[in-house]
A and B are shown apart, each in its own frame.
Chain A
Amino acid sequence: MTQRDPVCGMDIAPESAAAERKHMGQTFYFCSQSCVEQFDREPHSYVMTSTTTGFNPERSLARIELPVSDLPLVRPALELEKALNSLEGVDQVTVNAGAGLLRLDYDPLKVNIARMAAAVRASGYTLEGLQTRLGIENLRCASCVKFIEDELKSTPGVLTASVNIATQEATVEYLPQSTTLADLKHAIETWGYKPRPATSETPIDKQEEAHALEYSKLMRKFWFAAVISVVVMITAYYQVVPILRNLSMDSLRLLWGVTALLTLPVMFWSGSDFFTGAWAAFKHRSANMNTLIALGTGAAWLYSTFAIAVPSVFPEGTAEPFYDVVAVVIALVVLGQALELRAKGQSSAAIKKLLGLQAKTARVIRDGNEMDLPVEEVLVGDVIQVRPGEKVPVDGVIVEGSSAVDESMLTGESLPTSKKIGDEVIGATINKTGAFKFRTTKVGKDTALAQIVKMVQDAQNSKAPIARLVDTVSGYFVPIVMILAVWTFVIWFVIGPQPQLVYALVTSVTVLIIACPCALGLATPMSLMVGIGKGAEHGILIRSGEALQTARAIQIVVLDKTGTITKGKPELTDTVIADRGQWKMEELLRLTASVEKVSEHPLAQAIVDGAQVQKLALTDVQDFEAIPGHGVSAKVEGRNILIGNLKLMNRENVVLGELEEKSKSLADDGKTPMFIAIGGKAAGIIAVADTVKEDSAEAIKALQGLGIEVVMITGDNLRTAEAIARKVGITRVLAEVLPEDKANNVHLLQAENKKVAMVGDGINDAPALAQADVGLAIGTGTDVAIEASDITLIKGSLKGVVTAIEISRATMTNIYQNLFGAFIYNTLGVPIAMGLLFPFFGILLSPMIAGAAMAFSSVTVVGNANRLRGFKPKFSAK
Chain B
Amino acid sequence: MSNLQIFVILSGIVLTVLIVWYFWFAPRVQTRLTVSATGMQEAAILVKGGYSPDVIVVQKGRPVRLTFTRQESSACSEQVLFPDFNQNALLPEGEPVTLEFTPEKAGEYGFQCQMGMLRGKLIVE
A-to-B contact residues, CB < 8 Å: 79, 123-124, 166, 203, 206-207, 210-211, 213-214, 217, 273, 276-281, 283-290, 337, 341, 344, 457-458, 461-463, 468, 470-471, 474-476, 478-479, 482-483, 486-487, 489-490, 493-494, 517-518, 521-522, 525, 544
Contact = CB atoms under 8 A, between A and B. Distances in A.
Interface residues of B, number: 48
Contact of A461 (B5, B81, B116): B81
B117 A289 contact: yes
A457 B88 CA distance: 9
Contact of B19 (A286, A462, A479): A479
Contacts of A478: 23
Contacts of A341: 75
Contact of A344 (B23, B75, B92): B75
B10 to A, nearest CB: 9
B64 to A, nearest CB: 13
A281 B90 contact: no
B47 to A, nearest CB: 10
B44 to A, nearest CB: 16
B120 to A, nearest CB: 8
B20 A493 contact: no
Contacts of A468: 83
A269 to B, nearest CB: 14
A680 to B, nearest CB: 67
A493 B5 contact: yes
B6 to A, nearest CB: 9
22 contacts: A124-B38, A166-B94, A210-B92, A210-B93, A213-B73, A280-B48, A281-B49, A285-B23, A285-B26, A458-B86, A461-B88, A479-B19, A479-B20, A479-B24, A486-B12, A487-B12, A489-B8, A493-B5, A494-B9, A518-B115, A521-B117, A522-B115
Interface of B: 1, 5, 8-9, 11-12, 15-16, 19-20, 22-24, 26, 28, 36-40, 48-52, 54, 72-75, 78-79, 81, 83, 86, 88, 90, 92-94, 110, 112, 114-119
B63 to A, nearest CB: 9
Contacts of A521: 115-117
Contact of A483 (B20, B92, B116): B20
A482 B117 contact: no
Contacts of A525: 114-115
Nearest to A461: B88
A462 B49 contact: no
A463 B73 contact: no
A462 B74 contact: no
A207 B86 contact: no
A451 to B, nearest CB: 15
A203 B90 contact: yes
Contacts of B1: 494
Nearest to A457: B88
B74 A273 contact: yes
Contacts of B115: 518, 521-522, 525
A154 B117 CA distance: 45
A217 B73 contact: yes
A287 B19 CA distance: 10
| From A211, A288, A457, A544, residue with most partner B Cβ within 10 Å | A288
A462 B72 CA distance: 24
B38 to A, nearest CB: 3
A482 B88 CA distance: 31
B16 A207 contact: no
Contact of B83 (A79, A123, A286, A462): A462
Contacts of A211: 75
| From B50, B72, B78, B115, residue with most partner A Cβ within 10 Å | B115
A284 B78 contact: no
B121 to A, nearest CB: 10
Contacts of B117: 288-290, 517-518, 521
Contacts of A217: 73
Contact of B86 (A210, A278, A462, A486): A462
A166 B93 CA distance: 12
Nearest to A211: B75
Contact of A458 (B5, B22, B75, B88): B88
Nearest to B46: A280
Contacts of A463: 81, 83
A290 B74 CA distance: 12
A286 B23 contact: yes
A290 B73 contact: no
A273 B16 CA distance: 26
A285 B25 CA distance: 10
The 9 closest A-B pairs by CB, nearest first: A280-B49, A124-B38, A521-B115, A490-B12, A461-B88, A463-B83, A284-B50, A521-B116, A479-B23
Contacts of B20: 479, 483
Nearest to B54: A284
B9 A490 contact: yes
Contacts of B78: 207, 210
A273 B74 CA distance: 8
A475 B72 CA distance: 23
A483 B19 contact: yes
Contacts of A470: 116
A617 B78 CA distance: 65
A513 to B, nearest CB: 17
